[in-house]
Amino acid sequence: MHEMAVTEDILRIVKDYAERGGAARVTDIYLVIGELSSFVDDSIQFYFDLLTPNTIAAGATLHFERVKTRFRCRKCGQEFEPDGQDWRCPSCHALGGDVIAGKEFYVESIEIMS
């Protein structure tokens, strides 16, 4: 159940931003989640609803933006999006490479009412 810990982290960040911005209430929270991170939107929403009553973020809408996986080939430097489970470079057919996108997990922005 690592979504619970992760949702608590999100809330900590959001409260911190909101307090610094002098917010009365947080209305929207924009999250960026990479395809390779295993977080499930529904679980985060579930814990969010559980943890936020009587907080500054109560009733805020969560927005999820999924980032596609991208690799950079170690052999030829080509950047590519893997096709399903086929992680071979489309140029030189070397397998895999360095992950340059897809592991993201962060709060992109929040909207507040003061």
Is there binding between residue 96 and Zn ion (CB under 5 A)? no
Q: Could you give the CA distance from residue 96 to residue 93 in angstroms, rounded to a whole number?
A: 9
Q: Which of 31, 44, 89, 110 lies at the binding interface for Zn ion (CB under 5 A)?
A: 89
Minimum CB distance to Zn ion smaller for 38 or for 91: 91
Is there binding between residue 75 and Zn ion (CB under 5 A)? yes
Q: Which of 91, 95, 96, 103 lies at the binding interface for Zn ion (CB under 5 A)?
A: 91
- Burial call 16-47: b when 16+ CB within 10 Å, e when fewer: ebbeeeebeebeebebbbbbbeebeeeebeeb
Q: Tell the smallest beta-carbon distance from residue 93 to Zn ion (Å).
A: 7
Is there binding between residue 100 and Zn ion (CB under 5 A)? no
Pairing assessment for the beta strands 70-72 and 98-101 based on DSSP bridges: antiparallel
**Token pair 């009365």 is at which residue?**
24
Judged by the rule CB under 5 A, the positions of this chain that interact with Zn ion are 73, 75-76, 78, 89, 91-92, 94
